[in-house]
Chain A
Amino acid sequence: MRKLLIANRGEIACRIARSARTLGISTVAIYSDADRNALHVRECDEAHCVGEAPAAKSYLAVDNILAACRKSRADAIHPGYGFLSEHAGFAEAVSDAGLIWVGPRPQTIRTMGDKQAAREMAIRAGVPVVKGSRRFSQGDLDELEKEAAAVGFPLVIKSVGGGGGIGMQLVDTPDKITAIAASVQERSARTFANGDIYLERFLPKARHVEVQVFGFGDGRAIHLHERDCSLQRRFQKVVEEAPAPGLPDALRRQMFEAALALCRETEYVGAGTVEFIVDATTLEFFFLEMNTRIQVEHPVTEMITGADLVGMQLRMAAAPETFDAETPAMSGASIECRLYSEDPKKKFFPSSGTLTVFETPVDMPNIRVESGYRQGDTITPYYDPMIAKIVAWGEERSAAVETAISALDQTRVEGIKTNRDFLIACLRHESFARGDIHTGFIERHHADLV
């Protein structure tokens, strides 16, 4: 691998460029018309425009990206997260063009990208799954109500092709479920080019715990411990941490084994994450999905292990026959806060505008800041609202939390609305301090937090 095209933008493109540089690999950025002056363009050795501002015309435009690859003579592509990272067709096109794809095999991406196929794969690997329904193809809602009753309420209508919390709808009661299902089908068809849905039981007091894995392509794989991502709103993660606080060791080991069983079953290649929900009351755990990419929250794992997950991905992709690694020891605790351009007081609506002031801590001990923006940049409505990740480390969880709070205190943003104060309120909340976290935390404590 000599030259890596990074098919992404924002903080993750900058992050990938950093690891590539460390390994002596030169980097190629792609950008849309809206991102001509973006930070990730500067962080790479060269850059190519791939189209207009809407993602569908640039960061999702497979042909334009492959053309940029040919033009730059890059020999490898890292997709980052989101955009084309879990697009099996893109992975295939990259491999067919004789380029190195930094990610799992297209077939694995395809299986795990179909949430129902993934469930079946988990069942085959002996991993417990949540109660769910059959698949409802677009236009088919036959006996939906009966299936819903069998699954039980509350339930979640999930898009088979969905991901990143998009294409999910919580339903508390049977009335209107058919109409709601039809709208999820329509939205899914538009967003994921796949209108199929299914129903899955929703656990009201659940924790979201995920295992970072790394596979060597022959069934062997290692885990890099777990992360707790229970603090979410609208199925979008807000605060993540490692390790998961208060998780019994026996449960943790069972989850590692389940995650590795899935890697064996799929002969998994590279970095991946197996997501579970844990019933906060009974401590039972169930497979949710597998993300076949690097994740937004991967830095908390790096903070407690010292691993460079992106570097591992690149080394594995460059030399799959010889690359090897062991489960790293972990030390301390780490917390990541996602700074979003949004207005918590206005239902968390996204906020666009110019960052007239944007200051994050510089060289603060035990703090890592990942961002794709600088002061003066514009936050456009075209892409994800995340503007920075503030990642803290401490010997103990409480120390990591304190460090994160003081880093957020030192973060100044003007020109747009952000969730900074909301994040501080989450971290200061006594339930959070106790480790009493679950996916309903933000909703339940909303009045204290906003």
Chain B
Amino acid sequence: MAKIEIQSEMTGSVWKLLVENGQEVSEGDTLIIIEAMKMEIPVIATDTGRVSEILVKEGDMVADGDIVLRLEA
């Protein structure tokens, strides 16, 4: 089983977690929405798999490149 790390592409705050631990997701699904400078940027699943770890909570600040979630593919 491959561990996939999902990163935020932008510095901002976590507006919304759209998935839960253990949830099955498909490649292309929106997992988290990050908000910065009046914009909402989705964090997208790069693979199909199961959410094994969520490293942020709503309201947290994240930086560009931070790992926000792990998937088991």
B12, A381: Cβ atoms under 8 Å?
yes
Residue interface mask A200-226, B partner, CB < 8 A = 1: 000000000000000000000000000
The tally of CB-CB contacts under 8 A between chains A and B is 39
Let me know if B36 is at the binding interface, CB within 8 A. yes
Shortest CB distance A81–B (Å): 13
Most buried by B among A166, A346, A352, A385: A352
Residues of B within 8 A of A346 (CB): 9
A350, B36: Cβ atoms under 8 Å?
yes
A49-82 at interface with B (beta carbon < 8 Å): 54
Task: Please report the C-alpha to C-alpha distance between residue A164 and residue B39 in the assembled complex, in whole angstroms.
Answer: 12
Task: Please report the C-alpha to C-alpha distance between residue A384 and residue B37 in the assembled complex, in whole angstroms.
Answer: 5
Let me know if A383 is at the binding interface, CB within 8 A. yes
With known contacts A350-B36, A352-B36, A381–B13 Cβ distance under 8 A: yes
Shortest CB distance B57–A (Å): 16
Task: Please report the C-alpha to C-alpha distance between residue A382 and residue B37 in the assembled complex, in whole angstroms.
Answer: 6
A166, B38: Cβ atoms under 8 Å?
yes
In the complex, residue of chain A having the shortest beta-carbon distance to the beta carbon of B15: A190
Let me know if B41 is at the binding interface, CB within 8 A. yes
In the complex, residue of chain A having the shortest beta-carbon distance to the beta carbon of B61: A381
Residue interface mask A157-199, B partner, CB < 8 A = 1: 0000000101000000000000000000001000000000000
A381, B9: Cβ atoms under 8 Å?
no
In the complex, residue of chain A having the shortest beta-carbon distance to the beta carbon of B10: A349
Residue interface mask B1-38, A partner, CB < 8 A = 1: 00000000111110000000000000000000000111
B41, A349: Cβ atoms under 8 Å?
yes
B11, A352: Cβ atoms under 8 Å?
yes
Shortest CB distance B71–A (Å): 22
Shortest CB distance A187–B (Å): 8
Task: Please report the C-alpha to C-alpha distance between residue A352 and residue B13 in the assembled complex, in whole angstroms.
Answer: 12
Shortest CB distance A32–B (Å): 14
A354-397 at interface with B (beta carbon < 8 Å): 381-385
Shortest CB distance B14–A (Å): 11
Residues of B within 8 A of A341 (CB): 37
Residues of A within 8 A of B40 (CB): 187
Shortest CB distance A165–B (Å): 9
Task: Please report the C-alpha to C-alpha distance between residue A54 and residue B61 in the assembled complex, in whole angstroms.
Answer: 11
Task: Please report the C-alpha to C-alpha distance between residue A193 and residue B11 in the assembled complex, in whole angstroms.
Answer: 25
Residues of A within 8 A of B37 (CB): 341, 350, 352, 381-385
Shortest CB distance B39–A (Å): 6
Task: Please report the C-alpha to C-alpha distance between residue A352 and residue B41 in the assembled complex, in whole angstroms.
Answer: 14
Residue interface mask B30-66, A partner, CB < 8 A = 1: 0000001111110000000000000000000100100
Task: Please report the C-alpha to C-alpha distance between residue A383 and residue B64 in the assembled complex, in whole angstroms.
Answer: 17
Residues of A within 8 A of B11 (CB): 350-353, 381
Shortest CB distance B9–A (Å): 6
In the complex, residue of chain B having the shortest beta-carbon distance to the beta carbon of A353: B11
Task: Please report the C-alpha to C-alpha distance between residue A229 and residue B38 in the assembled complex, in whole angstroms.
Answer: 20
Shortest CB distance B15–A (Å): 9
A350, B39: Cβ atoms under 8 Å?
yes
B38, A384: Cβ atoms under 8 Å?
yes
Task: Please report the C-alpha to C-alpha distance between residue A346 and residue B13 in the assembled complex, in whole angstroms.
Answer: 19
Residues of B within 8 A of A384 (CB): 37-38
Residues of B within 8 A of A385 (CB): 37-39
Shortest CB distance A234–B (Å): 8
Residues of B within 8 A of A164 (CB): 38
Shortest CB distance B32–A (Å): 15
A/B interface sample: 21 pairs, CB < 8 A? A54-B13, A187-B40, A341-B37, A349-B9, A350-B12, A350-B36, A350-B37, A350-B39, A351-B11, A352-B11, A352-B37, A353-B11, A381-B13, A381-B36, A381-B37, A381-B61, A384-B37, A384-B38, A385-B37, A385-B38, A385-B39
The 8 lowest CB-CB distance pairs between A and B, nearest first, are A381-B36, A350-B37, A385-B37, A352-B11, A381-B12, A381-B11, A349-B10, A350-B36
Beyond A166-B38, A352-B37, A384-B38, 9 extra complex contacts between A and B, CB < 8 Å? A164-B38, A341-B37, A346-B9, A350-B39, A352-B64, A381-B12, A381-B36, A383-B37, A384-B37
